[in-house]
Amino acid sequence: MRNRKVYLAADVGAGSGRVLAAIFEERKVFLEEIRRFDNQPVSVLGSLHWDVLAIFSEIKRGIREAVKRYGRDVISIGVDTWGVDFGLIDAHGRLVGLTYCYRDTRTSGMDAVSEEILPQSQRYAIAGIQHLHFNSIYQLLAESRLRPNVLAETRQLLFIPDLLNYWLCGVAKNEVTIASTSELLEAKTGRWSDELIGRFGFPRGIFGELVEPGSVLGKLSPEVASEVGSDHILVVASPSHDTAAAVAACPLRSVDAVYISSGTWSLVGVESANCHTSDLANSMGLTNERGVEGTTRLLKNISGFWIFQQCKRDWDLLGLGLSYDALRDLATKEAPFQAFLDPSDPCFEAPGNMLARVNDYFAATAQRVEPRPGLITRTIFEGLALSYRRVLKGISRVTGKHPDTIHIMGGGSQNDFLNQLAADATGCTVLAGPLEGSSLGNVLSQLKADGEIPSIRAGRSIIADSFALRTFTPNASIDWDSAARQFDALVAQ
């Protein structure tokens, strides 16, 4: 009997990607990085696109390197990515045009068009999805208005991980957690909404069969198998939205605990047995995305490290040469609450020139701020912590529950300064880790598909035994209540 099994997770974010190997031995999981690569949107003739062919090529390289290292111990692979973006394939299985990035401007004005078709409050009652102007529904609306010939040629819509799975094994299906980010699924049933699809005039046939996380799609295609050197590896539809995967792996200590998937975006929420599509939930900007094993992820998307990452890029261009750790250390030396910044303000969405936009934001909100890197960094981090607090209050109002623990996962969990700010701002104990939450949730779905665990919940205990968490307790030495009132007033503007 084989003692060691290896499962591959291709975890691709809106900035970088990686192929990780999860070695499963003696009921514990050990991660090894096989390959890491950049993933940046490409500007072409004024539009932003993803280089999905480069992503696919990097994933194949990762599989090939894993096969060289582990041989036939490699059992399967799952793919998870960011949400909402998609590729369109024609009757021959080929891409119809380039794949757009959600930060592309073609959705500008689609809010007003969609309101005329069906008001947002009615859409929310069906789909339960937070209003974000780049949701798939608005991207498709832009396609139907700006490039109607594209949808006419389309046989099937495949979200980015669905598309990568299709290229790996030749099976074209829509995994439900990623599909739920589209604003085209029914929140209560997890099925495609014929009402929304019909009202918006989208071709019903392009929306394919929905499959649950952990579904085995098939083996690598003969072409890919030949390229990577193995003909037995299975492709599993993992929780293919990276946040769904991260939540799947989160070793939640109670059913009321809050999770934060922290990276370029921060996704703050709870795992729920029910969806919440009330007017109150809508007013709070909460979203109902599908989770594993029939659960709902009640959460809010807020900007995460995006502004910080873009500011660092600008400082690098200025020749300051400050690392992320150096900027964090400078931030700790600044006095608190010298200024306030809402990380989710729309002015920060586009890439480039972020320092200028931060300065413009301070001017527009009548705040005089010295442009010190440490001060700007601290203001961004405090804005994130205050955003967490604001979202938690909204979730508590909707659910009637008052959590006392927050699990922070993903790359942002390494930032101990922000972890402590989050604990102080919310009054909750913060548990930081695991770092590679999305990859681990991806792997748990493969363990379940392979019969190694009976459920994702059982798998969480394996994660808890395999990875140490760091604990941050609230410190009441700073007046966060007063800061929250100032921040809420700023957001209300």
Q: What is the largest CA-CA distance in the chain?
A: 69
**CA 149 to CA 96: how far, in whole Å?**
10
Nearest one of 167, 186, 242 to 17, comparing CA atoms: 242
Cβ-Cβ contacts under 8 Å for 489 (sequence gap 6 or more): none
Can you state the percent helix, strand and coil of the chain, rounding each to 5? 45, 20, 35
Q: Say what the pTM is.
A: 0.91
**CA 355 to CA 310: how far, in whole Å?**
8
Query: CB neighbours (10 Å) of residue 283?
Result: 13
| pLDDT, position 279 | 96
Q: Helices then strands (H, E): number in the chain? A: 19, 20
Report the DSSP beta bridge partners of residue 303.
Answer: 265
Each residue's pLDDT expressed in tens, for the chain with a length of 493 residues: 358 999 999 999 988 999 999 999 988 999 999 999 999 999 999 999 999 999 999 999 999 999 999 999 999 999 999 999 999 999 999 999 999 999 999 999 999 999 999 999 999 999 999 999 999 999 999 999 998 899 999 999 999 999 999 999 999 999 999 999 999 999 999 999 999 999 999 999 999 999 999 999 999 999 999 999 999 999 999 999 999 999 999 988 787 899 999 988 899 999 999 999 999 999 999 999 999 999 999 999 998 999 999 999 999 999 999 999 999 999 999 999 999 999 999 999 888 899 999 999 999 999 999 999 999 999 999 999 999 999 999 999 999 989 999 999 988 999 999 999 999 999 999 999 898 999 999 999 999 999 999 999 899 999 999 999 999 999 988 999 999 999 999 998 8
Report the DSSP beta bridge partners of residue 79.
Answer: 10
Nearest one of 269, 358, 255 to 315, comparing CA atoms: 358
Nearest one of 235, 243, 251, 236 to 291, comparing CA atoms: 243
| pLDDT, position 1 | 37
Report the DSSP beta bridge partners of residue 31.
Answer: 22
Residue 176 and residue 141 in contact, taking contact as beta carbons nearer than 8 Å: no
Residue 18 and residue 8 in contact, taking contact as beta carbons nearer than 8 Å: no
**CA 239 to CA 14: how far, in whole Å?**
17
**CA 131 to CA 436: how far, in whole Å?**
28
| pLDDT, position 2 | 57
Domains in the chain, ordered, with CATH? 5-237 (3.30.420.40), 252-433+453-493 (3.30.420.40)
Cβ-Cβ contacts under 8 Å for 94 (sequence gap 6 or more): none
Angle at CA of residue 128, ends 122 and 134, nearest 5°: 90
Question: Catalytic residues, which ones?
Answer: 242
Residue 300 and residue 268 in contact, taking contact as beta carbons nearer than 8 Å: yes
| pLDDT, position 428 | 96
**CA 191 to CA 212: how far, in whole Å?**
11
Residue 61 and residue 35 in contact, taking contact as beta carbons nearer than 8 Å: yes
Cβ-Cβ contacts under 8 Å for 64 (sequence gap 6 or more): 227, 228, 229
Residue 350: CA count within 13 A, CB half-sphere: 13
**CA 51 to CA 53: how far, in whole Å?**
6
**CA 209 to CA 423: how far, in whole Å?**
42
**CA 437 to CA 413: how far, in whole Å?**
10
User: DSSP letters of 253-322?
Assistant: SSTT-EEEEESSEEEEEEEESS---SHHHHHTT-EEEE-GGG-EEEEEEEE-SHHHHHHHHHHHHTT---
Q: Is 175 helix (H, G, I), strand (E, B) or coil?
A: strand
Residue 16: CA count within 13 A, CB half-sphere: 10
Report the DSSP beta bridge partners of residue 219.
Answer: 234
Question: Which two tokens mark 377?
Answer: 């960094």
Question: Which two tokens mark 267?
Answer: 């996704």
Question: Which two tokens mark 320?
Answer: 């300051």
Q: Is the peptide bond before 434 cis (omega within 30 degrees of 0)?
A: yes
